[in-house]
Amino acid sequence: MLTDEAGRGANQATEPANNVQNPRRTGGDLVQLLSPSGERISHPEFDLWISDVSDEQLCSFYEDMVVIRRIDAEATALQRQGELALWPPLLGQEATQIGSGRALRSDDFVFPTYRDNGVAYCRGVPVPDLVRAWRGNALFGWDPYRYNIATQQIMIGSQSLHATGYAMGIQDDGADSVAVAFFGDGATSEGDVNEAMVFAASFQAPVVFICQNNHWAISEPVLLQSHVQLADRASGFGIPSMRVDGNDVLAVLSATRIALDRARKGGGPTFIEALTYRMGPHTTADDPTRYRDPNELEDWAAKDPIARLRALLDRKGLLSDELEARVKARADAVAAELRNGCINMPEPAPLDVFKHVYSEENSWIERQKDHYTRYLESFSGSAQEGAH
Amino acid sequence: MSQLTFARAINAGLRKALDNDPKVVLMGEDIGKLGGVFRVTDGLQKDFGTHRVVDTPLAESGIIGTAVGLAYRGYRPVCEIQFDGFIYPAFDQIVSQVAKMHYRTQGTVKMPITIRVPFGGGIGSPEHHSESPEAYFTHTSGLRVVSVSNPQDAYTMIQQAIASDDPVLYFEPKRRYHDKGEVDEALALDRALPMGSARVAAGGSDVTLVAYGPLVKTALDAALAAADEGVSIEVIDLRSLAPVDYPTVEASVRKTGRLVITHEAAQSGGLGAEIAASITERCFNYLEAAPVRVTGFDVPYPYSKLEMHHLPDLDRILDGVDRALGRPNSLSGLEG
């Protein structure tokens, strides 16, 4: 007899969808440095790693989060207006992405998912490049080596192995940079994520696994993926883990710095579970009202990552009109850059379909390209007339 | 020139690649101290260290997935998949990542990964140890697929595969590992036949017989036997399965007017079908008869006491040759 709390098959249908039950707790406490009301909570260890964060940096994190939320809104609007085929919103996950993204060094290398546009923004990726793939103008938007961030992986969890392999390369090079894999709660069920943790532990590779537990893998609640807290899975691989409030930019920043430092010093991999919430749909094609209770959304709205940092700034007397105006101006400018870059993106040429399949010339591709070229040419000039 | 077994020839090629390029890294299960279950990597970890010759955990997707990361970092990983049937857990990483990365990144990220796969039957193995999965990979654009048939090619082509900036599936006929042959270890790669070229292994004028990997030797034996009966078979060792060197096959078929293709892999959707179709398209007017396929059956690889029925052998190949020539054969009188 199954004692599956997630409920399988028929059981699942009878369960109310209004409450995301947390998987069974077996490990450490949730680390929170900033309460939902913006109160700074002290922590004996995690505080040490953010003691250098200045008022100015707090303001810049606030700006970052507002900007990426604006990018998200603008891209969603572009999708609704038919300019993008699809968009995967990160709404609600801003603190996780900015807290981790801003902890990285430029020579660290990120292996992200399609939803990690905030991380890509931190790496300096031009914003129109974020929508290049969703507009259908490329399979992927930018040169990974230019910003040290790999392609945004669509296959769930595959990139965790790429990050681990990259980290093995860092190790062989004797460098002290770190590879960082981002993935979600659903990915922890994939074999590749588990294999990545096996390899990372065996070789003590300098890799950080950042699991954004946003509670939903499309329509599947996290309890369907795991009956223990995701962070606790790491101990089975011999990998130290942390569980932090993913809507708390300071907690995420601190945890990421701890993990990066350990990796740089030869201490091997770390697993961070950042507890957050996907406030929007899985993508613009999804309809979460079919599987989520609005009350749940309300609960999480009260824990909003931007509102809480804004409250901290207010408590500290940093929330001036000038700051608000500056942040708004920046968000407006980035949104305009995104929109203009998207709408004016150059169209690909028909024969680009054959480009870059191989790095060396390939006789099969060359022949098909030649034939298709002739086919296209048959529609022009005398060939077309001859066909009439 | 030295006399080397097939396995030693690959070993020598790997050693040379490791010597020549510090970015070459070997990875796989049991390839270190043991030297691989077929001893192909024998002694390499001892000489190049555990960071260049890496014993990995038992996870094929993990091997290929971490190789992708190493390639991202500028390394040239050479992965050993212990047996053909063990490649499927890595299929997703090969097809969705290795094959597509160059296209996905518009040529920015190269995947110079070589995946060595001992393949094919004939050694009396249990299940999952005798398969011929090459067609899955020839159907996947972004990959190059080769299969070697003799120690000299094994030696040079493993180096060419590693030197290629494109990912290469390198299929090794495991039942030929102990066959010996002359190997010119001084042969420079740029003077050797390019990896993408087929080779006329034996000249002939009546029938073109296309083979690769383990069946090249069988095809050559068949050609010798046919010569006794006055039939002249031209044997082409395909070497590259993706892309196929069609000009070489075409030139032969234009001369002979008849085509037989043989492989161990199952017939339907196999490489033989692709070659038959392509050659028919390219030189239909030169064909005197329909192309003939002599292949493994469309069955799961059978238990070892039946494998001699499944695998094309000299007699079945000659029966196919008779069909192509319109001579009496086992299917005489059957329509189609």
Percent residues over pLDDT 70 in chain A: 91
Residue with tokens 């043991």: B34
My answer on whether A364 and A328 are in the same domain is no
The pLDDT of A117-137, averaged and rounded, is 98
Token pair recorded at residue B62: 């993990």
State the catalytic residue, choosing from A69, A282, A292, A308. A282
Token pair recorded at residue B333: 């009188």
User: CB-based contact (8 Å) between A162 and chain B?
Assistant: yes
Residue A6 lies in a domain: no
Distance of CA A250 to the CA centre of its chain: 17
This prediction has a pTM of 0.95
Q: Is the pLDDT of residue B32 over 90?
A: yes
Query: Between chains, do B104 and A364 touch, taking CB under 8 Å as contact?
Result: no
Which residues, at least 6 apart from B300, have a Cβ–Cβ distance to it below 8 Å?
B127
Residue A4 lies in a domain: no
Q: Is the pLDDT of residue B225 over 80?
A: yes
Which residues, at least 6 apart from A336, have a Cβ–Cβ distance to it below 8 Å?
none
Average confidence score pLDDT of chain B:
97
Q: Does residue A187 contact residue A156 with C-beta atoms inside 8 Å?
A: yes
Interface test with chain B among A155, A166, A239, A361, by most B beta carbons within 10 Å? A166
Please name the residue of chain B whose CA is at the shortest distance from the CA of residue A138: B104
Distance (Å, rounded) from C-alpha B32 to C-alpha A111? 29
Residue A355 lies in a domain: yes
My answer on whether A159 and A69 are in the same domain is yes
Q: Is the pLDDT of residue A383 over 60?
A: no
Token pair recorded at residue A29: 């406490």
Please give the torsion angle defined by the CA atoms of residues B106, B107, B108 and B112, in that order, rounded to the nearest 10 degrees: 140
Query: Between chains, do A162 and B107 touch, taking CB under 8 Å as contact?
Result: no
Q: What is the pLDDT of residue A10?
A: 35
- Would residue A8 show up in a list of annotated catalytic residues for this protein? no
Residue A44 lies in a domain: yes
Q: Is the pLDDT of residue A28 over 90?
A: no
User: CB-based contact (8 Å) between A351 and chain B?
Assistant: no
Query: Between chains, do A199 and B165 touch, taking CB under 8 Å as contact?
Result: no
| Cβ-Cβ contacts under 8 Å, B96 against chain A | 155, 158
pLDDT in tens, B65-104: 999 999 999 999 999 999 999 999 999 999 999 999 999 9
Query: Between chains, do B105 and A358 touch, taking CB under 8 Å as contact?
Result: no
- Closest partner residue to A359 (CB to CB) among B57, B74, B110 is B110
Distance (Å, rounded) from C-alpha A35 to C-alpha B5? 69
User: Per-residue confidence at A29, pLDDT binned at 50, 70, 90?
Assistant: confident
Query: Between chains, do A161 and B69 touch, taking CB under 8 Å as contact?
Result: yes
Q: How far is residue A199 from each of residues A144, A193, B78, B112, B300, measured CA to CA in Å?
A: 23, 10, 17, 21, 32
Q: Is the pLDDT of residue A75 over 90?
A: yes
Interface test with chain A among B27, B58, B66, by most A beta carbons within 10 Å? B66
Which uninterrupted H or E stretch holds A103?
A: none
Distance (Å, rounded) from C-alpha B312 to C-alpha B296? 6
My answer on whether A301 and A360 are in the same domain is no
B residues 208-237 near A, CB within 8 Å? Answer: none
Distance (Å, rounded) from C-alpha B14 to C-alpha B25? 10
Please name the residue of chain B whose CA is at the shortest distance from the CA of residue A153: B97
User: CB-based contact (8 Å) between A191 and chain B?
Assistant: yes
pLDDT in tens, A319-332: 999 999 999 999 99
Q: Is the pLDDT of residue A23 over 90?
A: no
User: CB-based contact (8 Å) between A170 and chain B?
Assistant: yes
Which residues, at least 6 apart from B47, have a Cβ–Cβ distance to it below 8 Å?
B15
pLDDT in tens, A267-305: 999 999 999 999 999 999 999 999 999 999 999 999 999
| Cβ-Cβ contacts under 8 Å, A171 against chain B | 51
Distance of CA A304 to the CA centre of its chain: 17
My answer on whether A330 and A381 are in the same domain is no
Query: Between chains, do B67 and A357 touch, taking CB under 8 Å as contact?
Result: no
Q: How many angstroms away from the CA of A332 is the closest CA of chain B?
A: 30
Q: What is the pLDDT of residue A24?
A: 64
Distance (Å, rounded) from C-alpha B254 to C-alpha A286? 57
C-alpha Rg value of chain B to the nearest Å: 20
pLDDT in tens, B315-327: 999 999 999 999 9
- Closest partner residue to A356 (CB to CB) among B69, B107, B242 is B107
| Cβ-Cβ contacts under 8 Å, A349 against chain B | none
My answer on whether A369 and A323 are in the same domain is no
C-alpha Rg value of chain A to the nearest Å: 23
Q: Is the pLDDT of residue A18 over 50?
A: no
Residue A19 lies in a domain: no
Q: Does residue A239 contact residue A211 with C-beta atoms inside 8 Å?
A: no
Token pair recorded at residue A219: 């329509």
Residue with tokens 């190949």: B317
Please give the torsion angle defined by the CA atoms of residues B121, B123, B129 and B130, in that order, rounded to the nearest 10 degrees: 10
Please name the residue of chain B whose CA is at the shortest distance from the CA of residue A154: B96
Residue with tokens 């994520």: A193
Q: Does residue B294 contact residue B317 with C-beta atoms inside 8 Å?
A: yes
- Going by DSSP bridges, is the β-strand pair B2-5/B180-183 parallel, antiparallel, or unpaired? antiparallel
Residue A363 lies in a domain: yes
Q: How many angstroms away from the CA of A262 is the closest CA of chain B?
A: 20
First to last CA, chain A: 72
My answer on whether A337 and A355 are in the same domain is no
Q: Is the pLDDT of residue B215 over 70?
A: yes
Q: What is the pLDDT of residue A103?
A: 98
My answer on whether A220 and A236 are in the same domain is yes
φ, ψ of residue B114 to 5 degrees: the values are -105, 130
Distance (Å, rounded) from C-alpha A10 to C-alpha A12? 5
User: Per-residue confidence at B236, pLDDT binned at 50, 70, 90?
Assistant: very high
Q: What is the CATH number of the domain that holds A216?
A: 3.40.50.970
Dmax of chain A from CA atoms? Answer: 83
Residue A2 lies in a domain: no
Q: What is the pLDDT of residue A11?
A: 36
Q: Is the pLDDT of residue A225 over 80?
A: yes
Q: What is the pLDDT of residue A27?
A: 54
Q: Is the pLDDT of residue B285 over 60?
A: yes
Distance (Å, rounded) from C-alpha A144 to C-alpha B104? 11
My answer on whether A328 and A249 are in the same domain is yes
- Closest partner residue to B102 (CB to CB) among A111, A138, A358 is A358
My answer on whether A250 and A273 are in the same domain is yes
Interface test with chain A among B72, B110, B240, by most A beta carbons within 10 Å? B72
φ, ψ of residue B80 to 5 degrees: the values are -100, 125
Q: What is the pLDDT of residue A14?
A: 36
Query: Between chains, do B69 and A166 touch, taking CB under 8 Å as contact?
Result: yes
| Cβ-Cβ contacts under 8 Å, A166 against chain B | 69-70, 72-73
Q: Is there a cis peptide before residue B118, judged by omega within 30 degrees of 0?
A: no
Q: What is the pLDDT of residue A6?
A: 37
Q: Set out the domains of chain B in order of their start, with CATH numbers.
A: 2-183 (3.40.50.970), 199-325 (3.40.50.920)
Q: Does residue A17 contact residue A293 with C-beta atoms inside 8 Å?
A: yes
Which residues, at least 6 apart from B99, have a Cβ–Cβ distance to it below 8 Å?
B111, B140, B141, B142, B143, B167
My answer on whether A173 and A295 are in the same domain is yes
Structural domain harbouring A361: 350-387
**Count of the separate structural domains present in chain A:** 2
Residue A14 lies in a domain: no
The pLDDT of B319-336, averaged and rounded, is 92
My answer on whether A209 and A358 are in the same domain is no
Which residues, at least 6 apart from A374, have a Cβ–Cβ distance to it below 8 Å?
none
Which residues, at least 6 apart from B190, have a Cβ–Cβ distance to it below 8 Å?
none
My answer on whether A69 and A97 are in the same domain is yes
Please name the residue of chain A whose CA is at the shortest distance from the CA of residue B73: A166
Q: What is the pLDDT of residue A386?
A: 46
User: CB-based contact (8 Å) between B79 and chain A?
Assistant: no
The pLDDT of B131-139, averaged and rounded, is 98
**Which residue blocks in B21-131 are alpha helix, DSSP H?**
44-48, 60-72, 91-92, 101-104
Task: Provide the 10 A C-beta neighbour count for residue B187.
Answer: 15
- Going by DSSP bridges, is the β-strand pair B240-242/B292-296 parallel, antiparallel, or unpaired? unpaired
Q: Which residues of B carry out catalysis? A: 129
User: CB-based contact (8 Å) between B298 and chain A?
Assistant: no
Q: What is the pLDDT of residue A25?
A: 57
| Cβ-Cβ contacts under 8 Å, A138 against chain B | 106
Distance (Å, rounded) from C-alpha B240 to C-alpha B249? 12
Please name the residue of chain A whose CA is at the shortest distance from the CA of residue B197: A363
Distance (Å, rounded) from C-alpha B76 to C-alpha B22? 9
Closest to A210 measured CA to CA, from A191, A234, A226: A234
Distance of CA B258 to the CA centre of its chain: 23
Q: What is the pLDDT of residue B336?
A: 58
- Would residue A121 show up in a list of annotated catalytic residues for this protein? no
Please name the residue of chain A whose CA is at the shortest distance from the CA of residue B58: A195
User: Per-residue confidence at B233, pLDDT binned at 50, 70, 90?
Assistant: very high
Q: At what angle do helices A191-203 and A158-173 cross, to 10 degrees?
A: 20
